[in-house]
Structure 1
């Protein structure tokens, strides 16, 4: 191993670790684990050159422990990034412990091959487990790049372990002059830099996505805000929107909740309505809090179902069914929060795109009009306003009674 090269890998890893620490200031949960991994890896790479620190055997065992800790941190960082925080943690801890013990046995028996193969195999497995768990969770190009480079790291460590017979021989004292030392410093430099860059890119993507979420999401409910609703709508095709329906909903007598229980409880009631909506959203539908206690739901295929319901088929349709389901669910959730003595309900207005419409604005206005009709009709109900002018609104009944039409 070239002594002039001995500190290049540790310095590079420290630099990446510091960069991850700085990125952690933006509250990305994976940043701390990436930083811990890079700093532990830097210390592991530095062990062969720190001859003054302790005898060679002690440094070899410590290096194995540091690399195992580094790859544990890398795996945990990927788990945080892909939403798998505690995935297979017991398995990974077991792999790390076995790897370090086998590596230490190689040191005690003065077997360079066993020492290096055990460490490399353990690192490969520690990285492979979270990568397998993250299958199907890569949605962005940055995620895919991280996965690809991480598999290259696994392949590099695994191939070194598999080829240890040809890369190393003899005792620990033969490490510096072995082909293994040359291969490991070359691949460690090239693949290590690529892996670190992919990891930091994933951290920065997390930072950007956090700021994007702050811009388009409502912090109280986690649903979209008005800007987020408009952005989500802009990404849908004209054909989909031409068959869409919208639901406007509002909490009834919400001021009374704040007056009797305080604004903190009022916020909890708003969040309960958001939870009820989110729990029943079908595929490709989305919802937004437009302000205060008012919410809007977009249903991509709701118009066809509404058209069938209003044509007298006896089925109210997808949008109306969803509104009624959310209405009942919300009432039950609030009852559990505030008790039976203080009932809190919500009203719903429903409409759909009419033939020839290309913008959702008109359907939103009709849904608002239907919402006002629901308020006038006594609240705690759903009203459907047809897209075609001249048709009466459909006032959906409560408790399974028959529907009534009114202008």
Structure 2
């Protein structure tokens, strides 16, 4: 037996191990790719090792392991794209392929029928996630590379087997098939694709893992808004407008809420404010929880009227949501400071200090109100448009 025959199984085993390592670092799709490549490795070994049972039984077992591997590919692809996995659909299709394969092997005794059944069945299993999510177009270059890898896998399953079915001898035996140029070509192409495709998949899951860890380091886990680090990175994005308005918001008497109703209810109040902040954000704006009960918002390109409008909407929605969802018998309010960004300084962060001063002035003036820094242009119009009579200008 030639050592070259073990090249493909060895390659598949190596990639299965690589995906196992990635899975240990938290990638759920990597688990299914690990299973898929381990199954493919076992199946290819089953084709080249001496017969264990009767040849037809061995063939059926090898085919079933190939099918199991492609169920894993489908599950991994669905997980990667965050699509519904539909395991029962995949398992039902796999069972149907195995049943038809067994009929071709034991009842019809057709080598061509067996090859076409398995290879086209594998192609269908690889396509199931895409067929079930036809409207979900790939959004990034990595996603498009994953789609291309799946297309190559499908072509490998269908083209070569179809060529054998069309041009191979009608009564070709198993030994004739194994010694034919079709098998040699199939192994050559499969070896190439079983290096290229797993490399694409490994790269994709590695980039996804890096992005997920980066997002986790920039997102506040309780509220889902940016944290301070994420806010700073958002401000530093290339092309990010530096002019607009900054809003600093703080929950009134938050310590009394925690002390009187417990930290679970206090967390609910924070989540309610985050939801109100998120609901009022216009396109291009972003918000963060800076810590405790302090939230900040940047409205790029906004004028003072828009800033006051969004501040009013945010505070009104917050008070209403707390009253609706939490067991607090009295209204829970928040105060908010507004400052222009870019009019007097060149960065968001410097102007946040003025928004904080406006917030402090709102607290000092009695809370449950909006204060606007005196550097903002058009404050008088904002005062007239404000829903809250406590809207005021601070020096």
Asked whether 1:227 is paired with 2:229, we answer yes
Q: CA deviation at 1:89?
A: 4.5
Asked whether 1:266 is paired with 2:266, we answer yes
Asked whether 1:384 is paired with 2:372, we answer yes
Distance 1:187 1:373, change over 3 A: same
- How many Å separate the matches in 1 of 2:275 and 2:392? 30
Task: Tell me the residue number matched to 2:102.
Answer: 104
Count of equivalent residues: 389
Contact 1:57 1:172 in 2 (8 A): no
Q: CA deviation at 1:8?
A: 2.1
Asked whether 1:249 is paired with 2:249, we answer yes
Decide which of 315, 318, 323 is 1:327's aligned counterpart.
315
TM-superposition CA deviations, 1:122-171 (whole Å, max 9, x none): 222222232453843432x4433333222211222122243232464424
Q: CA deviation at 1:37?
A: 1.0
- How many Å separate the matches in 1 of 2:121 and 2:309? 54
Q: CA deviation at 1:35?
A: 0.8
Matched residue SS, 1:30 = helix
Asked whether 1:374 is paired with 2:362, we answer yes
Distance 1:269 1:197, change over 3 A: same
Asked whether 1:43 is paired with 2:42, we answer yes
Gaps of 5+ in 1: 310-316
Gaps of 5+ in 2: none
Q: CA deviation at 1:391?
A: 5.4
Task: Tell me the residue number matched to 2:63.
Answer: 64
Task: Tell me the residue number matched to 1:185.
Answer: 187
- How many Å separate the matches in 1 of 2:222 and 2:57? 53
- How many Å separate the matches in 1 of 2:267 and 2:39? 44
* TM-score, normalisation: structure 1: 0.85
Matched residue SS, 1:246 = strand
Matches within 5 A, 1:1-400: 3-84=2-83, 86-108=84-106, 109-131=108-130, 133=133, 135-139=136-140, 141-166=141-166, 168-169=168-169, 170-237=172-239, 240-242=241-243, 244-303=244-303, 306=304, 309=305, 317=306, 319-355=307-343, 357-385=345-373, 387-388=375-376, 400=387
Contact 1:272 1:333 in 2 (8 A): yes
Q: CA deviation at 1:193?
A: 0.8
- How many Å separate the matches in 2 of 1:103 and 1:26? 38
163-172 or 324-333, which deviates more: 163-172
Distance 1:192 1:99, change over 3 A: same
Contact 2:340 2:376 in 1 (8 A): no
* TM-score, normalisation: structure 2: 0.87
- How many Å separate the matches in 2 of 1:332 and 1:137? 39
Q: CA deviation at 1:235?
A: 0.9
TM-superposition CA deviations, 1:283-321 (whole Å, max 9, x none): 222211111111111222323xx2xx3xxxxxxx2x333
- How many Å separate the matches in 2 of 1:20 and 1:286? 36
Q: CA deviation at 1:111?
A: 1.1
Distance 1:5 1:354, change over 3 A: closer
